[in-house]
Amino acid sequence: MWKKNFLFRAADDTPMPKSENELFHDTEPAMDSVGLTLDRFLSVWVQGEGEDDKPSVFTNVYVRTATLDVAKQVGFLQPLQGRSHQIKQMLTPSQKQFLGRWFQTHAPQAWEASEDHFRELFE
């Protein structure tokens, strides 16, 4: 199985250089938000068939919101959402556009082999 994570600050058009795992899984879950300076993030997980950096087809996409106090290294992760209408509502048009271009540029064969419902999420 092939998978990749794109982590966006909520209002940014391009993802951060670090993944969700690099930023959030080394942090402690916050017990409450008192005294925290929280930034909002959108984490996009894409799955498909293939190996390492060579996807052959994209099959699933999941999105979740997260908040993190980068300085204190604590945060809150929400559950993953995988329904098309949820994904379309959570991502901004420019984030969808970035992802669609990334898929077409970095793995054009996988993009073409993907089902219509997957490609429609990013158009």
Whether the CB-CB separation of 86 and 42 falls below 8 Å is answered with no
**pLDDT in tens for each of the 123 residues of the chain?**
999 999 999 999 999 998 888 877 666 666 777 888 889 999 999 999 998 789 999 999 999 998 888 777 777 888 888 899 889 899 999 999 999 999 999 999 999 999 999 999 998
In a domain, 119, yes or no: no
Task: Give a yes or no: residue 122 inside a domain.
Answer: no
Residue numbers of the domain that contains 92? 2-114
In a domain, 123, yes or no: no
Note whether residue 121 is domain-resident. no
Decide if 104 is inside a domain.
yes
- The reply to whether 103 falls in a domain is yes
In tens, the pLDDT along 52-81 reads: 789 999 999 999 998 888 777 777 888 888
Q: Structural domain tally of the chain?
A: 1
What is the pTM for the complete model shown? 0.88
